[in-house]
Amino acid sequence: MLWGSRFKTKLNGSAMEFSSSLPVDINLIEEDLLVNKAHTEMLEQIGIISHDEMKSIINGLKTIHKEFEDGSWKPNAEKYEDIHSAIEGRLFELIGDTAGKLHTGKSRNDQVATDLRLWLKKAIGDIISSLNNFQNTLIDLSENNIKTIMPGYTHLQRAQPVSLTFHLLAYVEMLERDKKRFDFAFKQADVSPLGAGSIAGSTLPIDPEFTSWKLGFEKYFSNAMDAISDRDFVIDFINSCVVGQVHLSRLSEELILWSTAEWKFVKISDEYSTGSSLMPQKKNPDMAELIRGRSGKVLGNYVNIVSVLKALPLSYNRDLQEDKEPVFSSFTTYINSLNILNKIIATIEINKERFTNELKGDYFLSTDLVDWLVLQGISFRESHRIVGELVKYLESSEKDFSKLTLDEMKKINPIFNEEALEYLNLEKSLGRKQSQGSPNPEMIKDQLKKWKSKLIEVVKS
């Protein structure tokens, strides 16, 4: 026990079990060993320990790492509160009393905060790499579906024609914003709190700048009290996971709908589908459903950490021990969802002709006709009314645009002519788009080139 010297009796066994964080923070063992090594080198640098003592401690830490890796040493949760005390305890067994100098000038408080920041930086790097991979997969699918026409929806009602490529590129944009959020979270985590102690630093001439540099942090803390109690970087990370998971959930929902017999638009590979224990014909999009369902877990983790922090006085309180589980859970849930959805998209089959005939004559070309009337000098509001009258007439006649004659159009308004009929041509609809960010095929090709170039640059960097 790192703190037991002033106590007459040992911590009750049930209290130890209740308070131990070892099963969770054992995930930080790599980072804890790195932090201990950097701190030991700093102690030697400022003359607190000798060079031989430094070598002894560092060699002991290397042995612990090797033992943990090969399974010959496993920390005991009944004996140790956390990974920090477990490592120090094992170090005593390996090198004797010299291990007692390891903790000089630091607290478990600044140690664990440093560990977690290091772990998050590595985790964010893995996430951004997976996001880049997923963007590339979406781009690959997009390149083959520039001419795949599908309905665009508002209120889940057909609104205007788009291409599947246009639809998928919307998710590429979302993923880019996700990367920026994680990049911000990385910058927030990239501050070393090592040397802040438990609240007010140290009277020893420790060198936080040295350990910050050794551990690869961009900078180190300015205020020890804030450094110890700050978990804003945890909130930023989990928030990034929440938004990212919501984006995955939205795409999963669309894949679920598109794969139904009603849509018949996509086929999800058997590798990422399941069947029914009762109905042998069933093919269920369970992986996509699980991604959608696990959004609640990540959101719950966000509520968890914010609730922990909302009423904590400065600086450290044991409540902060509860910060790690929601971090690890959010990371695992999000990156696993991201990687499995990437595989689903990489193996999906698209029914490219699904909507080609069905959409011909569909009323969702009405906006194109409104625009044509505007180009003839009629106000938008009046144009909107005229086309609304035309749709109303067709519905009452049980017709669609494909069966509409010019004579019928002229009965609604004599301004209509042969050119207006051309605006009801589905194949030409996307090509008429002129505004930035529209599904015009030529603009879409430019967008694909931009994204491919950008993602190539990311790989090079």
Q: What would the pLDDT profile of 81-100 be if each residue is shown by its tens digit? A: 899 999 999 999 999 999 99
Query: Which fold is adopted by the domain 9-104?
Result: Fumarase C; Chain B, domain 1 (1.10.275)
Model confidence band, residue 7 (pLDDT cutoffs 50, 70, 90): low
Alpha-carbon span 460 to 122, nearest angstrom = 19
Cα-based distances in Å from 236 to 85, 120, 151, 186: 28, 11, 36, 9
Which of the following is catalytic: 19, 50, 129, 276? 276
Which of the following is catalytic: 5, 14, 51, 155? 155
Q: What are phi and psi of 129, to 5 degrees?
A: -60, -45
Contact 45, 207 (CB under 8 A): yes
Query: Which fold is adopted by the domain 363-423?
Result: Ribonucleotide Reductase Protein R1; domain 1 (1.10.40)
How many residues does the structure list for the chain? 461
Out of 3.60.20.40, 1.10.260.40, 2.60.40.10, 1.20.200.10, which CATH number does the structure's domain 109-153+160-350 have?
1.20.200.10
Alpha-carbon span 429 to 162, nearest angstrom = 9
Contact 361, 424 (CB under 8 A): yes
pTM: 0.93
Residue 5 has pLDDT above 70, yes or no: no
| Same fold flag, 109-153+160-350 and 363-423 | no
* 145: nearest Cα among 453, 446, 444: 444
Per-residue pLDDT tens for 363-394? 989 999 999 999 999 999 999 999 999 999 99
Active site residue 383: no
Q: What are phi and psi of 443, to 5 degrees?
A: -65, -40
Which sequence spans correspond to the domains of the chain?
A: 9-104, 109-153+160-350, 363-423
| Residue 361 Ramachandran class (φ > 0 left, ψ -120 to 50 alpha, else beta) | left
Active site residue 222: no
Per-residue pLDDT tens for 408-426? 999 999 999 999 998 998 8
